[in-house]
Structure formats: structure tokens, C-alpha cells
Amino acid sequence: MTTQEIHFVDPSEKELELLLRQCAVVILQRENADDFLAWFRKHAVSMAPHFFQRFASDADELRSFISAFSRHIWDQTPLPGNHYLPRPLPELQPDACCPCDSKRNFQDCCAKAAHAEVSMFFLSMLPHVLDALSPQQFADLPYSELPPEGLGFVAETWMEQGRVLDVVKLLEGLFAHIDQLDERSEHCFNSLLACYDRLGNAQQKARMIEIGLAAANLKLRSAVMQRQCCILIDSKEYAKAWVLFETLRQLVPDDPALPHLEVSMLIGQGDHERAQNRARFWLEHLTFNHSEEKITLLEFFEAVANGESQHADENGKQ
Ligand SMILES: [Zn+2]
């Protein structure tokens, strides 16, 4: 089995999704590993036959895979009763009785399978756990215990499923505690604004930006200010955008996003000559390492410095 072979296509992808969702429901009922592993052994294959077919050509292999996979799922599942942290199972000793129920030693049975295939699975159980919560548990979510990156992943997953209102509910809960958040929540903030865009709710979007502008964390606050700046540019309110930009320049002078924002603003208001000058200036004064992001930025400045922004603009008008 190589990594390349593991890319899910229907119907096993759908099956796996439903299986994981059901796993979260079962796990949250008692938060007991043995109960969950026994349930999985009994029901998983019938719930996701195509999925399991991919990993086992005979009964022994299937038993090993089920055992290792169920332990992996348990280990990745954040438990509400444990401050939304997983409670991983202890590592199996070679001479322990194999958990696959073969009655052999782990070493002589599933040791290989447990380490090889299953560790390749990236599993995020948080979306399923949140779906398995009662309405009261969801309302009482302890946001300070949930990793912002995890919430960002949930938001992305739900957006893909078209569950915009669920994302709004989740993330509005998060940003109700704006004073406790840091820059790790920037992704969630952008997702929430994207939700309001999809819902056509400009009023809520503006209100959320007001909330974001009150963030205690400087990096998060300046990220919100940059968003606000882009919104002002889009609505051609350049005077306000420049005031905000000046504030940003004082607050976070070394923020690598500012030069791009400045040149974009100049292009936006049709001031191509100044945009060209500033792009040349930044090409001379910025030090670039070779990350992909920086290379894209460098190409952008080079194009503007060569007067290409104006041509693009003129072509756009024709
Ligand atoms: Zn075994």
C-alpha cells in the first residue's frame, strides 16, 4: 500500500464520511474507548463496505485494519468530557493480547498493519463531534478550549457542504470572545465574512468588522483593518482607505502585507504612475527569501514596476 493509492472516490468517500459521523455519535454517548472499539468491530464494515474493501484482501487483513483504524479514530476524537482533547489509547506492548481479537500477541499479529497504513490517514473528527453535540452543548461550547485551526477546518468543511448558517452560528460564538483571541483566528474571521457575503448580509458583515477592530491582539486587529481597507477600496472610498492604511503603517510598520496593500490601493484608484514608483521602491527595499508567497509578491511588484498594471487596466476597459 502506497500513499498514492489512498485517495477516496465515491462511494467509499461518502461511506467513510457517514461512518465517521456515526463514530462521533457513539463515542460521545459514553466517551468510553472499549465500548467504541467493540461497536466499531461489529458495525463498521456493514456501514462502509466499499471503503474497507480497499484495505483488505482477506479476513486477517480486514481484522487488522479495523482494529488499527478504530484505535486511530478514537485517538483523534476530541472529547467534550476531556476539555475537547482526545484521550489517546496507550501504545500497545509487543507481548500484549492483540486488540483485533485474534487471541494472538500484538507482535505476531497486527503490529505491522497498525503502524503502516493507518498513520497515513489525516482525520479531523472535530466537525463530526460538533455535529453530534446536543443543542445545549453546542450553545455552551467552551471556545477557549477549541483550537482556532480546528474551528477553521470545521468552517471550511461546512462551507463546502453549503452549511453557511451553521458556520455563522459556530463562528459568531467564537468572535463573541474577541478579547481572548489572537491571530490564529484570522482564518475563521475571513470565513465568517465570506459567509455574510454568501448570505448577502452586508449589515452583519459591517458589524462583525466593528467587533474585529476591537480585538485586543494587535496582529488579529491589524488583519481585520487590512480587510476593512480592501472593502473600502472595493467600494471606492479611497480617502477612508488611506486613513486606515496610515494607522496600519504606524501600528504594524513591518507587516509584510502592507507594501502589497499600498500598491493595490494606488492601482485601484487608477494612480498607475505612483503605483509604478512605489513598486520600484519596494523592489529595491524589500528583502525576499524564496518562499512561494514572496515570489508571487515579487512578480506582482515587477509587473507593476514595468507598467503592466496600467495595460491590464486599459485592456479591462476595452
Ligand atoms: Zn491482531
Please give the pLDDT value at position 237: 93
110-127 residue pLDDT tens: 887 655 666 667 789 999
pLDDT in tens, 258-311: 999 999 999 988 999 999 999 989 888 877 665 666 778 888 888 888 888 776
6, pLDDT greater than 60: no
CA dist 86 and 74 (Å) reads 8
- Count CB-CB contacts under 10 A for residue 273: 11
Distance 96 CA to ligand 1 centre (A): 10
Going from the Cα of 64 to the center of ligand 1, the distance in angstroms, rounded, reads: 5
- Per the document, the length of the chain is 318
Beta-carbon-side half-sphere exposure of residue 88 (alpha carbons within 13 Å): 7
Domain residue extents for the chain: 3-128, 141-241, 256-318
CA 65–ligand 1 middle distance (angstroms): 9
What would the DSSP string read from start to end of 263-289? HHHHHHTT-HHHHHHHHHHHHHH----
Q: How far from the centroid of its chain's Cα atoms is residue 154's Cα?
A: 7
Q: CA 186 to CA 167: how far, in whole Å?
A: 15
> Shortest CA distance to 168 belongs to which of 201, 130, 196, 187?
196
pLDDT at 318: 38
Work out the pLDDT band at 314, boundaries 50, 70, 90: low
Assign 3-state DSSP to the chain and report helix, strand, coil percentages, each to 5: 70, 0, 30
User: How far is the C-alpha of 192 from the C-alpha of 117, rounded, in Å?
Assistant: 36
φ/ψ (deg, to 5) at 97: -65, 130
Q: Phi and psi at residue 79, in whole multiples of 5°?
A: -105, 120
Cis amide linkage into residue 135, ω under 30° from 0: no
Grid cell in block for residue 128: 463530526
Q: How far, in Å, from the CA of 93 to the mean position of ligand 1? A: 12
Distance (Å) from CA 107 to ligand 1 centroid: 8
Q: How far is the CA of 73 from the centre of ligand 1 (A)?
A: 17
Q: How far is the CA of 77 from the centre of ligand 1 (A)?
A: 22
Q: In the prediction, which pLDDT does 122 show? A: 79
pLDDT band at residue 317 under the 50/70/90 scheme: very low
Average pLDDT, the chain: 88
pLDDT in tens, 80-111: 999 999 999 998 898 999 988 888 999 988 88
End-to-end CA distance of the chain: 55
Q: Which residue has the cell 482494529?
A: 67
| pLDDT at 119 (0 to 100) | 64
Grid cell listed for 184: 490564529
The CA 71 to ligand 1 mean position distance, Å, reads 12
Predicted TM-score of the model (pTM): 0.81
What's the rounded Cα separation, in Å, for the pair 271 and 266?
5
Percentage of the chain with pLDDT > 70? 90
CA of 89 to the centre of ligand 1 (A): 16
**Alpha carbon of residue 12 to chain centroid:** 23
pLDDT at 251 over 70: yes
Centroid of ligand 1 to alpha carbon of 105 (angstroms): 7
Q: Ligand 1 mean position to 48 CA, how many Å? A: 21
Report the alpha-carbon distance of residue 157 to residue 122 in Å, rounded.
14
- Ligand 1 centroid – CA 176 distance (Å): 48
